[in-house]
């Protein structure tokens, strides 16, 4: 492999070319749409019809199949946005900026669903819809506001270069909240239960509940990838259309 090609791969420069990105996206999006649809159908079937009721939580355990995947995805999407912003900052990768921008509404939707489902799970299990003293709940709510702030930057700053710079900083600084969300249940006494999946001694969830959970995880994960690729393509086309309009008005 040539040195230039190795550098290209390492820095992902080949994907910095919008044309190359669109060519790849066009090839994978139809397949991803089908896979996402199938994953949702399978996941919902397992979650609603196959998974047994929990001996303690009864049928409310089914809320877990929406709550846990969306809560983890809300953090994962923000981590991807931060990584994209760092890539854009170091290598001036424009598509990385647009990918982060396209990811934000999906991450915000996941965060909202996680908070909503958590509230609807908390009411029958804890006896409350919301607890301000719970660090996990509050830090997740802060994540939603960070998403709103990030999207607001792109909407309010007219100059796309300045908007991209401000958005990158927001994504990088906002990432400080991610370990706080993750470890809040270990660092503080919270109403929220401690980690039950990613643990040193293995998951504390029975296998019959794990498969529906993984299926729903796959569905939300595929949904994110599909929508982020479509969103990035939309941003690239908008950018190209704006550039064309500017060239026409300048008579170039």
- Rule CB under 8 A: is residue 221 a binding residue for other proteins? no
Q: What CA–CA distance (Å, rounded) separates 89 from 136?
A: 30
Residue whose CB is less far from other proteins, 15 or 220: 220
Residue whose CB is less far from other proteins, 86 or 230: 230
- Rule CB under 8 A: is residue 30 a binding residue for other proteins? no
Residue whose CB is less far from other proteins, 53 or 176: 53
Interface of this chain with other proteins, residues 54 to 93, rule: CB under 8 A: 58-60, 62-63, 66-67, 70
Residue whose CB is less far from other proteins, 5 or 26: 26
Q: Which residues bind other proteins (CB under 8 A)?
A: 40, 44, 48, 53, 58-60, 62-63, 66-67, 70, 105-106, 109, 112-113, 116-117, 120-121, 123-124, 220, 223, 227, 230-231, 233-234, 237-238, 240-241, 244
């Amino acid at each position: 492999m040539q040195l230039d090609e190795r550098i290209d791969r390492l820095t992902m420069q080949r994907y910095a070319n919008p044309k190359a990105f669109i060519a790849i996206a066009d090839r994978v999006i139809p397949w991803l749409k089908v896979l996402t649809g199938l994953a949702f159908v399978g996941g919902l079937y397992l979650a609603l019809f196959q998974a047994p009721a929990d001996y303690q939580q009864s049928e409310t355990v089914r809320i877990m199949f929406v709550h846990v995947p969306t809560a983890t995805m809300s953090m994962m999407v923000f981590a991807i946005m931060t990584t994209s912003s760092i890539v854009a900052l170091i290598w001036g990768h424009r598509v990385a900026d647009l990918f982060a921008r396209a990811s934000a509404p999906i991450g915000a939707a996941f965060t909202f669903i996680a908070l909503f489902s958590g509230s609807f799970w908390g009411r029958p299990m804890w006896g409350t819809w919301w607890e301000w003293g719970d660090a996990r709940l509050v830090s997740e709510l802060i994540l939603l506001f960070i998403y709103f702030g990030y999207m607001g930057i792109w909407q309010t700053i007219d100059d796309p270069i300045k908007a991209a710079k401000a958005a990158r900083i927001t994504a990088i600084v906002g990432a400080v909240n991610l370990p706080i969300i993750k470890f809040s249940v270990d660092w503080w006494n919270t109403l929220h239960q401690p980690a039950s999946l990613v643990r040193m001694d293995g998951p504390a969830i029975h296998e019959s509940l794990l498969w529906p959970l993984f299926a729903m995880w796959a569905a939300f994960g595929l949904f994110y990838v599909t929508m982020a690729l479509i969103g990035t393509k939309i941003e690239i086309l908008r950018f190209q259309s704006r550039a064309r309009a500017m060239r026409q008005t300048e008579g170039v």
